[in-house]
Structure 1
Amino acid sequence: MGSPPKTSERTDRIIQAAAQLFARQGYHGTSTREIARLADISENTLFRHFERKEDIFWTALDTSFSGLRVRKDLLAGIIAFEAPEIVLPQILSLLIETVTFKPQLLCLIAVALIELRWKAESVCHQHLSPIVSAFTSYLTRCVESQRIRNLDPHMITSAMAMTVMVHPELSRVFSGTPPPHSDSRDAIRAYTKFWLEVLIPQPALRPWDATPAVAKIESPSEAAE
């Protein structure tokens, strides 16, 4: 007969079971009895680890956010490129990858915002603010250097997130059937094209698209003639 699982192992099982159930059934639709059953422990044992169901939920959400710490490091590396033509596709790729391959986190965020809104905003802000702040600061520099149009960086950040969240394939994510890689690539291309056209003044920052009507940009060979 094997030895009983250690406390940390039981806690991990509870968190994993809770995240799965909360994401699928919502907060109010999930009971501690169901969590205990899926974690293969008794309900009494569950309450030795967590005093309340709410504590289980916030721990599960906090644990699910852990993968975003890696994305924060990736974001810093991407932003170092500076050029919006390089940065924006990479940022959108990260956002869409999160939508596509971290469906449980998205579902838990949705549950928190809908059913436990009083605390959800502060919890989500705690995890997301470093990422949002880094990207917003980058956009601010781009506005100041006239790399992109003179728009509110906070508005741009929110709007970019929203365009990803309303991606038509997102319904498949929430239903448990994430879109294939090809759909993600198509979405990245479509959203990149859209945002580059919205943000970048084409005559100023994309001279390869068209010659400005007011002042012609001469090539080195033309200038020499």
Structure 2
Amino acid sequence: MVSECSLYRSSAMPPLKKRISGQVRKATIIRSAASLFAEKGFSGTKTREIAERAGVSEALIFKHFPSKEELYAAILAEESPVPGLLSRVKNLAEQRNDVEVFSVIAKTVVDGAPDSDLMRLILFSALESHELSDMFFHNHIRVFYDFLAEYIQQRIDQGAFQPVQPLIAARAFMGMLIYHRLLTVLFQAQLPQTAEDISRTFVNIMMNGLKIPSLKRQSGMPGKPRTPQKRTARKA
């Protein structure tokens, strides 16, 4: 028989805690480390602080990430928008859809990529000459710029774009977008226009600089206005 006392004890037992999977803990560590690095920089962040914010032990951090390099690489893999963006624009590039290629890039950055934490993290790493800065540049930024420059060169060879230095053109376009993002994140310098309008403006500036004038008119792009010629009086 089951006594009333035993029934009371069983009903008073606390519910079993749901076990968190290793993948969830790992993702929590990555997010916690990224946010702390963005707040304090690398030299100002201790492993103990990451463990406290993630709600885990320091030993568990070292179990998932035996070296700092592995943690940095994991942060980039988790937080960087470059791999996903590159996958999207490669498909559009194969279709030679110039406006859409640049539009997708512009919308992604204007809409908030990279996010404020990653932006600050990268700035901290560059200022501290940290290895994460080199890792981000070589594995993400350089890969994307090389792709965009190669696409621009391909379209030049096909007669769609004017002959320009493709890497400079790629840097010019991304420079407009990243500077806009920096002003928004660091100084909260918001523009009154919508993200769609801002993106379209950046794309129009880029396309007007690249497109051959005759192709601008065919594609509906606004071309360079013609300067009216002065008429000279005919001599009698």
TM over 0.5: yes
Alpha-carbon deviation of 1:24?
A: 2.3
1:180-202: CA deviation from partner (whole Å, max 9, x where unpaired):
99542232122122212222232
Alpha-carbon deviation of 1:20?
A: 1.3
Q: Structure 1's 4 and 24: CA in aligned 2 closer, same or farther, altered over 3 A?
A: same
Matched AA of 2:109: L
Q: Which position in structure 2 is the counterpart of 1:217?
A: none
Alpha-carbon deviation of 1:9?
A: 3.4
Taking the aligned partners of 1:5 and 1:178, their CA distance within structure 2 comes to 40
Taking the aligned partners of 2:224 and 2:49, their CA distance within structure 1 comes to 65
**Which deviates more from structure 2 when the two are superposed, residues 3-12 or residues 152-161?**
3-12
Alignment TM-score, normalising by the size of structure 1: 0.74
1:41-64: CA deviation from partner (whole Å, max 9, x where unpaired):
233443444345564334322321
Taking the aligned partners of 1:53 and 1:154, their CA distance within structure 2 comes to 32
Taking the aligned partners of 1:87 and 1:142, their CA distance within structure 2 comes to 12
Match of 2:200 among 189, 205, 212: 189
Alignment TM-score, normalising by the size of structure 2: 0.71
Query: Is residue 2:93 matched to residue 1:79?
Result: yes
Is this contact kept in 2: 1:27–1:57, CA < 8 A?
A: no
Matched AA of 1:185: E
Query: Is residue 2:215 matched to residue 1:205?
Result: yes
Q: Structure 1's 81 and 51: CA in aligned 2 closer, same or farther, altered over 3 A?
A: closer
Q: Which position in structure 1 is the counterpart of 2:167?
A: 154
Taking the aligned partners of 1:210 and 1:16, their CA distance within structure 2 comes to 47
Q: Structure 1's 30 and 145: CA in aligned 2 closer, same or farther, altered over 3 A?
A: same
Query: Is residue 2:44 matched to residue 1:32?
Result: no
Q: Which position in structure 2 is the counterpart of 1:97?
A: 111
Unmatched 5+ stretches in structure 2: 1-15, 227-236
1:40-99: CA deviation from partner (whole Å, max 9, x where unpaired):
12334434443455643343223212x433222211122133243443333322333353
Q: Structure 1's 118 and 37: CA in aligned 2 closer, same or farther, altered over 3 A?
A: closer
**Which deviates more from structure 2 when the two are superposed, residues 125-134 or residues 137-146?**
125-134
Is this contact kept in 1: 2:85–2:105, CA < 8 A?
A: no
Taking the aligned partners of 2:128 and 2:17, their CA distance within structure 1 comes to 40
Higher-Rg structure is: 2
Q: Which position in structure 2 is the counterpart of 1:218?
A: none
Unmatched 5+ stretches in structure 1: 214-225
Q: Structure 1's 41 and 211: CA in aligned 2 closer, same or farther, altered over 3 A?
A: closer
Q: Structure 1's 44 and 181: CA in aligned 2 closer, same or farther, altered over 3 A?
A: farther
CA RMSD of aligned residues (A): 3.2
Provide the identity percentage: 21
Q: Which position in structure 1 is the counterpart of 2:184?
A: 172
Q: Which position in structure 2 is the counterpart of 1:135?
A: 148
Is this contact kept in 1: 2:160–2:215, CA < 8 A?
A: yes
Query: Is residue 2:134 matched to residue 1:121?
Result: yes
Is this contact kept in 1: 2:161–2:211, CA < 8 A?
A: yes
Taking the aligned partners of 2:76 and 2:189, their CA distance within structure 1 comes to 20
Matched AA of 2:215: L
Taking the aligned partners of 2:106 and 2:173, their CA distance within structure 1 comes to 8
Aligned residue-pair number? 208
Q: Which position in structure 2 is the counterpart of 1:109?
A: 122
